[in-house]
A and B are shown apart, each in its own frame.
Chain A
C-alpha cells in the first residue's frame, strides 16, 4: 500500500509553472501555468503525446531546469531560489533518475555505474553500492560492463543507481519502454516495492497498462494538464 494513502504530505508542488522557449520561429510555451501537487510516497504517472510538455515537466521535476513564471517546490524548497551549484547538489540528494534507454556509462562496470552516483553525491562506498546491486538481483554481475548485460539487467542497474543516494523522489521515464515482457515484470515489481517502501515515483509513460500501476494519472496536452484521475488500488495488491 502506498504511503500517500495514509499520510498525504506534499513533496512536490507546482504552482502556475510556466516554461517558454524562445526560437527563430517565436516563443513556444512548453508548460502553460501548470499547478500540480504530489504527496510523499505517491506514485504519479504522467501521460501525453509528443510535444505535450512531458520533457519540460521532467526537466523541472528533475531540477534540471527552472520555470519562467510560477514556482516549483520539491521537498519544501523552491528550486528557483537555489543557485546553480545548490541545484546540482539538491538534484543529487533529492532525485533518482530511471531512464528508458538506461544510460549507463559504457566504460564503467555495473558496480562502478552505481558508484558514479555516489561519487557526484558525496563519496563512494563499494559495500553500499554492492548491496544496492544485490537488492536488484545483480550481485553476480557487478564487474560486467553495460554491453555485457541484457536490457532488463541494465535497467535494474539503472534503478540501483537511482536508489543509491536514497533520494525521496524517483523520476522514471518510460522505465519499461525498452524491455521484454519478463523484464517488464521484474522492473515493475521493483518499482512497486520501492513505492511501498515510501519512495515517491514520478513516471512518464505512454503505456496505459503501466500507468495503471500508479496512484494517480496526469495527462498533458499542449503544456496543460487536461485530465487527472486517481487509480484504484487493485493493481498494487496483485
Chain B
C-alpha cells in the first residue's frame, strides 16, 4: 500500500481516485444523491414513455368505445355488418355483436335475453365480474351467463325460457355482476340465440385500440364502411381516456421536475459541504500554482465521475422501479426504454452541473492566504 502511494508520478485520474476514495462517506453520499436522481428520472421517464400504452390497455378493460346500431332504432343490422365492421376496424380492434329479445320465464314474467359472441364479449368486457364464463357452445341444455339479479329471479340453475311460444332449456354456467343493466340479463351464444328467437344482431360493440386519434380514425373507417348504420363513439369513455392520459402525463412531468429539483438541492448541499471541507486543500493547490481552471476542473471531474457512476447505477435501479410499478399498477411489466437513456444522462448531468455551480463559485472566491493562515 505504502509502495503504491509512492507511485511513479501524479496524474489527474490518480488525484481524482485518491480524493474520492479518501472521502469515502462524502463520496458515497454524493453518489447516492446522483443515483437517486438518475433512478427517479429513469423510472418516471420510462413510465412516461409507456404511459399511453398502459393506460390505453387499462381503458380497454372498460369495454367498447364505439357502438354501431341500425339507422332505425331496434332494427337489425345487415347480415354482413359484423364481417364489414371487423375488417374496417382492423386487427387490433375487437368487435362483438349483440342481439336482444324479451323472453318469458316459467312464472310468466319477462326477462331480457341477449345473444352474443361470448368469447368476444369476454375479451372486450374484462371489467365484468363473472363467476364462470360458459365454455361449451354446443352443450345441451345451452350454457348461459346469467346476470346476478336475473339469477335471483330465476331461482334455479336449470330453467326454461319462452320466446314467441318456443321454449328452450337453459343452464346457468356462471353469473355476471356489473352494477348495470347486464345484471338483469341472460347472455346466450349468438348461434343458439338466433336459432331460438330468429332475431339477428341490432348492435355491434367495437373496442378500438390506441390513442384518441387512432380511435377517431377507426370511427371514420367504420362510418365509411357502414354508411347505412349509426356509428358513434362512447364519448364519455374516449374523452375520459384522453383527459386521464393528459393529466397523468402533466402530473408525472411535474413530479419529475420537483423530484429532480429536490435531488439537485441535496446534491448541491453535499457538493458545497465537500468543497467547504476541502477548501484548504484547494487553497494549497492554488498557492502551489494551480490555476482557477485546474482547481475547477478537478472539482468538476469529481462531480462528473460521480454523475456517470450514479447514472449507471440509477438507470439500472430506475428500470427496476419502473418494472415493479408496472407490475403493481398495470399488471404488466414495463421494460427498459433505451431511447430515454440520453435524456436521463442529460438530466443527471444537468443536476450535477447545477449542483456544482455554487461550489464552483466558492472555489473561485477562495482566499488562499486567509485560509492557509487559518483566518
Residue positions of A touching B, CB distance < 8 A = 55-56, 58-59, 62, 64-65, 84-85, 88-89, 91-93, 97, 99-101, 103-109, 111-112, 115-121, 124, 126, 142-145, 161, 165, 173
Contact = CB atoms under 8 A, between A and B. Distances in A.
29 contacts: A56-B369, A62-B368, A62-B369, A64-B286, A65-B367, A91-B287, A92-B289, A100-B374, A101-B280, A103-B281, A103-B283, A103-B284, A105-B284, A108-B5, A108-B15, A108-B18, A109-B5, A111-B5, A112-B7, A116-B285, A117-B288, A117-B289, A118-B10, A120-B290, A126-B8, A126-B9, A144-B2, A161-B288, A173-B372
B73 interface: no
B23 to A, nearest CB: 8
A55 B367 CA distance: 10
Given A101-B374, A106-B22, A112 B287 contact: no
Given A120-B285, A120-B289, A115 B9 contact: yes
Interface of B: 2-3, 5-10, 15, 18-19, 21-22, 280-281, 283-292, 294, 367-370, 372-375
A111 B10 CA distance: 10
Given A59-B367, A99-B372, A107 B22 contact: yes
A145 B5 contact: yes
A27 B3 CA distance: 53
A99 B19 CA distance: 22
B288 A107 contact: no
Contacts of B2: 109, 143-144
Contacts of A144: 2, 5
Contacts of A116: 10, 285, 288
A97 B288 contact: yes
Nearest to B9: A124
A100 B375 CA distance: 12
Given A107-B18, A143-B2, A145-B5, A55 B288 contact: no
Contacts of A117: 288-289
A99 B10 CA distance: 22
B273 to A, nearest CB: 16
The 3 closest A-B pairs by CB, nearest first: A92-B289, A107-B22, A143-B2
A106 B281 contact: yes
Contacts of A93: 289
Contact of A85 (B7, B281, B284, B291): B291
Nearest to A171: B287
Contacts of B8: 126
A106 B5 CA distance: 12
A112 B10 contact: yes
Contacts of A107: 18-19, 21-22
A126 B7 CA distance: 9
Given A105-B284, A117-B288, 5 more contacts: A103-B284, A112-B6, A117-B289, A126-B9, A144-B2
A112 B8 CA distance: 9
B25 to A, nearest CB: 14
B260 to A, nearest CB: 31
Contact of B375 (A55, A85, A111, A145): A55
A59 B369 CA distance: 5
Contact of B368 (A64, A120, A143, A145): A64
B290 A55 contact: no
Contacts of B21: 107
Nearest to A84: B292
A120 B288 contact: yes
A97 to B, nearest CB: 5
A37 B263 CA distance: 54
A197 B367 CA distance: 31
Candidate in A89, A107, A111 with the most chain B CB atoms within 10 angstroms:
A107
Contacts of B284: 99, 103-105
Contacts of A92: 288-289
Contact of B10 (A85, A115, A143): A115
A105 B373 contact: no
B10 A100 contact: no
Nearest to B283: A103
A85 B294 CA distance: 11
A206 B306 CA distance: 44
A58 B3 CA distance: 37
Nearest to A90: B289
Contacts of B292: 84, 88
A121 B5 contact: no
Contacts of B285: 105, 116, 120
Given A64-B368, A107-B21, A108-B18, A97 B5 contact: no
Nearest to B294: A120
A71 B283 CA distance: 24
Contacts of A101: 280, 372, 374
